[in-house]
Structures are given as C-alpha cells and as structure tokens.
Amino acid sequence: MCVDANAGARAAARERAAQKDALFAQEKLKFFNKETQLARTQKRNVIGYSRDLSDAYASALAAQGKGRKQVENAARRYFRQKGTVNEGGRSRRFGKANLQGLLAAQSEVESVIDNVLRRNMAYAQEGAVRKFQAAQAQGREKLGLPAQYGAPVMMPPTNRLGGALQIASQVASIYSGFGGGPLSFGPKTGAVSGIGPVASGSAYAGMLGGLGGIGPVASGFTYASLLGAP
C-alpha cells in the first residue's frame, strides 16, 4: 500500500474537528444552563407581577378605609351636635352647618376613594405590567443566542500518488548518494547506458554480447566479432 502524502493534513483536520466538537458541546451546555436560569427568572417575574398588583390593591383598600374612617368621625360630630335642643328663638338654619360639614366630608372621601380605586389603580396596574415586561426582556437578553457550530472542518483528500512519487524521489536520492548514475524513466533503446569500459578478454565482456553503449573492446576478441567489427 502506498503512503498517503496528505496523512499529516488529514490527522490535523481530525484533531481540529474533535476540538470544535468539544467546544460546541460546551457552548450547548452553557446555553442549556442559561435556559434553565431564564425559566426560573420568568417564574420569579410572574410572582413579582402578582405581588405588585396585590400591593397596589392593598394600598387602595387601606386608603378607602382611612376615608371611611373620616366619614365616620364627621358623622359622629354631626349627630353629637344635633343633640342640642332647639328651645326656640333660634334661626331656622340651626344645625344646617353641621349637616353641610358632614356632606362635604362624605363628598371628599368618596372622591378620594374613587380616584384610588380607579385612576390610581389603573396607574399601578400599568406600572406593574411595564415592570414585568422589562424584567422578561432583560431575562431573554441575558439568554443570548444558542450555540452555533459554524463552518465544518474540511477533510483533505488522500494523495497516494504523491506519496509514491516521494518514495521514488527518496530512492533516487539514496542511489545517487552511493555513486550511481541518474535513473532514466524514458523509453528503452537498444543501448544500455551507465556501464563503464569493459576490459578486453574478461569473462564479463562475453556475457554482454549484443549490447551497445559499452566501452572499447580489444580487437581479436570473440566479442568484437559479435559486434560486427572487421
């Protein structure tokens, strides 16, 4: 099996993908915790809204009670003064001032109670709604956006041809380092290159019969007749 030239790049891509998956899992867990916190915050906001309405209504009832207490005091003063006997010689308008005072106190108290239970109560309810909506919006703002994975990590393709060429280059470099000639991958010819001169009369010269590109051969040798020499 040939060596993959992109093996290192593919391993680095796997490592980056693993790191990105781990970071994405952490961000998802953080967002989940924020979601649970938002749920608790929304429940507290609902409780706070209910309490604000209850406080406003309780304040209105307290103001109504104070007003009715004033009406009661005015009525007591009126009936206490009404107990005076008219023995004659008094004005026909005797006692009307006390009655007018009682009626004025009743009118004032009723006006105050009407404002407290209607206009002021509406203001309190609207203020509670706005406070609740602001708290809800602040909670959602703290939640933020969900975790985003982003662009995927691209895996480089395999390059076995490049690995084979690298191995061949290394082999050629080693061969050249030991004194060998350059390797030729061109078309084959009848001559064999890269062979030095052969001494005449040697046995190796007879084994190379019919091959060209060999150094000088002594005349009279059998190999010379094989080469077509005169």
- Give the residue-averaged pLDDT of 185-202: 47
Which one of 143, 162, 181 terminates a domain?
143
Token pair of 91 as six digits? 């004005």
Token pair of 63 as six digits? 């103001």
Find the domain containing 127 and state its range. 7-84+94-143
Is there a single domain that holds both residue 133 and residue 211?
Answer: no
CA distance linking residue 52 with residue 127, whole number of Å: 9
Is there a single domain that holds both residue 113 and residue 224?
Answer: no
Is there a single domain that holds both residue 14 and residue 128?
Answer: yes
Token pair of 5 as six digits? 């030239």
Q: Nearest CA to 75 among 38, 103, 54, 51?
A: 103
Instruction: Give the per-residue pLDDT at 190.
Output: 47
Which one of 108, 124, 143 terminates a domain?
143
pTM as predicted: 0.52
Q: Is the pLDDT of residue 65 over 50?
A: yes
> pLDDT digits over 210-228, tens only?
444 444 444 444 444 444 4
Tell me the pLDDT band of 58, cut-offs 50, 70 and 90: very high
Is there a single domain that holds both residue 41 and residue 121?
Answer: yes
> Across the strands, what pairs with 149?
none
CA distance linking residue 52 with residue 122, whole number of Å: 12
Q: Is the pLDDT of residue 129 over 80?
A: yes
CA distance linking residue 161 with residue 169, whole number of Å: 12
Whether residue 217 contacts residue 205, with contact meaning beta carbons closer than 8 Å, is answered with yes
> pLDDT digits over 16-48, tens only?
999 999 999 999 999 999 999 999 999 999 999
Whether residue 218 contacts residue 201, with contact meaning beta carbons closer than 8 Å, is answered with yes
Long-range Cβ pairs for the range 18-22 (8 Å, 24+): 20/149, 20/150, 20/153
Instruction: Give the per-residue pLDDT at 100.
Output: 83
Tell me the pLDDT band of 78, cut-offs 50, 70 and 90: confident
Instruction: Give the per-residue pLDDT at 89.
Output: 58
Is there a single domain that holds both residue 34 and residue 107?
Answer: yes
- Mean pLDDT over the full length of the chain: 76
Total tally of structural domains belonging to the chain: 2
- Give the residue-averaged pLDDT of 132-144: 91
